[in-house]
Structure 1
Amino acid sequence: MRLDILVDTAIAEVVNAHRINLLSEELGSIDNGSAITLVTDPVDGTANAASGVPLSAFAGVIAVDGVPTEALTSWLDTGRCWHTVAGQPSPYRTNGRTELDGAAVSLLRPQPQIADAWWRVATRAARIRILSTSCLEAVLVTEKSTDAFADAGSDTHRIVDLAAAMVTVPAAGGAVIDVRGRPLEIDPDLTRRWSGVVAATPRLAEELPETIRGTEDR
C-alpha cells in the first residue's frame, strides 16, 4: 500500500545517509557495502492501519554480519516500544507457560490449506485471537499478554516478520522457531518463507509445531 512506501522511503533515506544496508519488506535489499544491516517491517498490519484499526507496528532489527543484535518494535497507534539488545538483561518476561492446553494463542487467519492444523490448535487453546499484525502479536508474548503466536503452517512469514522477535522473545524467556524446523536466517532473499512460532517457553514452542503438524501423538 501507499502507506508502506511512504514509511519505507523515509527509512531508506536515513539508511543511505548512514551508509548501512537495508532489508525491508517493501523495498527489498539495499546494499551499501556495510557489515551492518537494518532489517525492517516498516508497517506491520498495513491493512489494519489503512482501515483505522489501531493494531499496527514498526519492527526493526540491527544485524551485524547477519547476526541480529538489537531490536525495536513500536506499536504505532499508542507509541509503546519494546527495545532489546542481545546479551543484555531484558526488562520483559514471559509468563512461562509450558502447555498448549488452556493457553491464549494468537494465530494468522485460517486458510483452506491449513484448516485442519488451525483447528487442532484452536480446540486445545482456551482463547484464540487474530490481530493481523505478526510483529505486535509476537512482542505481546514478552509481556504476559498472551502465551504464543503462530502461523499454522501456511508459510506466510518472511524474515522481516520474525527478526525483531528473534532478539526480543528469547531475552524474555521465550522462543522463536519455524513449524517445520527450518533455521531462521537473515537473508536478503525475501522469497524465502517460514511459518513462525513465538512462545512463552521453549517447551511450548516445541508443542505448538507438533500440534500443527499433527504429530503430537506419534
Structure 2
Amino acid sequence: MSTPIPWPVPEPELPADVHPALAAVARAAHRAYGEARRRHTRAELGTETAMGADGTPTMLVDRLVEDAVAEAARAAGANLLSEEAGFLDNGSAVTLVVDPVDGSANAAAGVPLSCIAAVVSVDGTATEALTCWFDTGRSWHAVAGRPTPYRTSGRTRLDGAALNVLRPRPAGRDAWHRLTDRAARIRILSTTCLEGALVAEGSIDAFADAGGDVHRIMDLAAAMVTVPAAGGAVIDAFGRPLEIDPDLTRRWSGIIAATPRLAEEIAAAVTAG
C-alpha cells in the first residue's frame, strides 16, 4: 500500500456524438485519476480528507478527480451536481450529474473496477448518459429516446440469475440472503455505475442493493438512461421515485435489472420481510 499504482490510465474511448460537456468531464477525470496514481501511493489515495456534500467521507482520490471534473464543467459552461462538492451553479440550463469516481475504494487500492459516470440533466430530466471505465478506457453512451446498441440479457426470473450485489448491511442481511440464495451466480464488485453498464450490455442479469439505502442519485442516474434503452429497468426496491435532486441526503436502494419483471421480482424479495 506504500507504492504508487504503476500502470497508466488510458484516455476514454468516446463516440463522436457525445455531448461536449460529458466528453470534457470524462477526459478530465481520466487524466486526473492517472496523475493521482502516478503521484500518490495507494494509502495516500485512500486517505479521508473531508466530509462530502452527500454526508460520506471524501478520499483523496475523490477530491483530486472531482476538482478536475468541476473545472471541466465550469469551462464547458455547465452546472455540476457531484457527491463531494454538491451543486455548483455555473449559470447554465444544463446540469451535469456526476459520480467522478464510482468505486472509490477500488480506485484507491488499484483494483481495476472504477469509473466516472455522468448525465446531462435539463430541468431535472436526464437526457444523455456516459459511463467510462478508468482502467480500460471503455465507455457506454446513451441518449434518451434514441436507439442504443446495448441489449440486456432479457432474463425475467431471479431464480438462476447472474446477480451483482452490494455487501450486506446489518439491517438488510435477511433480504441479502433472500436474493443470493435464489441466484445462480453472485458478484460483489463495489462499483454500481459500472455494474449498471454491464446489465445494459447483457453481461450480467441484474444488480441490487438489498435494502441498504446506500445509493445517491449520481449512483443510478447513468443507468436510468442507459438500461431502459437496452430493454431493462431501474427502480428503487421500496417503490420510491428516482428523481434528480440537489438534496444529497436522499437515498435509495437501487435495482438495475435486465427486464421490468426481473426488477419487480428482486424488489419483492428485498421487501418480503
User: TM-score normalised to the size of structure 2?
Assistant: 0.77
CA deviations over 1:139-176 (Å, ceiling 9, x no partner): 10011110000000010000000000000000000000
Residue of structure 2 aligned with 1:193, choices 238, 251, 255: 251
User: Is 2:177 aligned against 1:122?
Assistant: no
Q: Residue in 1 aligned with 2:63?
A: 5
Q: Residue in 2 aligned with 1:79?
A: 137
After TM superposition, list the pairs within 5 Å mapping 1:67-216 onto structure 2: 67-214=125-272
Larger Rg, first or second structure (1 or 2):
2
Structure 2 gaps of 5+ residues are 1-58
Shift in Å, 1:19: 2.7
Structure of higher RCO (CA pairs closer than 8 Å, 6+ residues apart): 1
Q: Provide the rounded CA distance (Å) in 1 between the counterparts of 2:145 and 2:202.
A: 21
User: Is 2:93 aligned against 1:35?
Assistant: yes
Aligned CA-pair RMSD: 0.9
Q: Provide the rounded CA distance (Å) in 1 between the counterparts of 2:65 and 2:110.
A: 17
Q: Provide the rounded CA distance (Å) in 1 between the counterparts of 2:227 and 2:202.
A: 11
- 1:185 partner letter: E
**Helix, strand or coil: the match of 2:181?**
helix
**Helix, strand or coil: the match of 1:124?**
coil
Q: Provide the rounded CA distance (Å) in 1 between the counterparts of 2:174 and 2:64.
A: 38
**Helix, strand or coil: the match of 1:47?**
helix
User: Is 2:71 aligned against 1:25?
Assistant: no
Of 5-14 and 94-103, more deviation after overlay is shown by 5-14
CA deviations over 1:49-99 (Å, ceiling 9, x no partner): 111111001100001111000000011111110000111110100010000
Shift in Å, 1:112: 1.5
Q: Provide the rounded CA distance (Å) in 1 between the counterparts of 2:227 and 2:155.
A: 14
Q: Provide the rounded CA distance (Å) in 2 between the counterparts of 1:157 and 1:138.
A: 13
Question: Identity percentage over the alignment?
Answer: 69
**Helix, strand or coil: the match of 1:140?**
helix
Q: Provide the rounded CA distance (Å) in 2 between the counterparts of 1:138 and 1:83.
A: 12
- Divergent runs of 4+, >3 A: none
- 1:45 partner letter: G
Shift in Å, 1:35: 1.7
User: TM-score normalised to the size of structure 1?
Assistant: 0.97
User: Is 2:102 aligned against 1:60?
Assistant: no
Structure 1 gaps of 5+ residues are none
Shift in Å, 1:209: 0.5
Matched pairs, number: 215
Q: Provide the rounded CA distance (Å) in 1 between the counterparts of 2:258 and 2:77.
A: 36
